[in-house]
Amino acid sequence: MVKSGVKGWKVGSGIMFMGEYTHNMDKKGRLIIPSKLREELSEEFVITRGLDNCLFLYPMDEWKELEKKLTSLPMTSKNARSFVRFFFSGANECELDKQGRVSLPINLRDYADFEHEIVIIGLANRIELWAKENWDSYMDNVEDSYEDFADAMEELGI
């Protein structure tokens, strides 16, 4: 188990997850959530398909807010219907066991290409879970474009 990063911290009434950690998924599909991230995670949370073949893990309060936004999208929009189906059909309510592990459903493990090593990242209001190989590949691509992203953020006022 390798870990680095800092724990989640609250901003106003919201939660802020940060850091990057690497843990191994066991043979039963269980993954330890780092203690620094568990501190801010509600007892119950939702895990679902994310974008870029990763999984999104939301504290229940954050999930409820996202759920309101997604269910208010117009049913007449094909893109909205497709995204909501994709997102909700993979959603599972979860709890951590006494060792701080989450059991990852097989359909989500398959979607995210999980085999053994998983990268866990804190990303503001959610946690993302990535197959190590996918994360490394993603980061290689992003690092090559980092300056372009920085220029785009400046245009957005960041």
Could you tell me which residues come within 8 angstroms of residue 77 by beta carbon, excluding any fewer than 6 positions away? none
**pLDDT value, residue 1:** 39
Share above pLDDT 90 across residues of the chain, in percent, rounded to a whole number: 70
Could you tell me which residues come within 8 angstroms of residue 150 by beta carbon, excluding any fewer than 6 positions away? none
Domain containing residue 112: 2-155
- Average pLDDT of span 97-124: 95
Residues, the chain = 158
**pLDDT value, residue 130:** 98
Alpha-carbon distance of 109 to 49, in angstroms, equals: 10
**pLDDT value, residue 143:** 78
Between 59-63, 88-92, 145-149, the lowest mean confidence (pLDDT) is in 145-149
Alpha-carbon distance of 137 to 132, in angstroms, equals: 9
- With beta carbons less than 8 A apart as the criterion, state whether 121 and 136 touch: no
Total structural domains within the chain: 1
Q: What is the CATH number of the domain that holds 9?
A: 3.40.1550.20
Share above pLDDT 70 across residues of the chain, in percent, rounded to a whole number: 90
Note if the pTM is more than 0.95.
no
Residues 2-51 have pLDDT tens digits of 334 444 444 444 678 999 999 999 999 999 999 989 888 878 999 999 99
Count Cβ atoms below 10 Å from residue 125 Cβ, excluding itself: 19
Identify the band that residue 105 occupies on the pLDDT scale cut at 50, 70 and 90.
very high
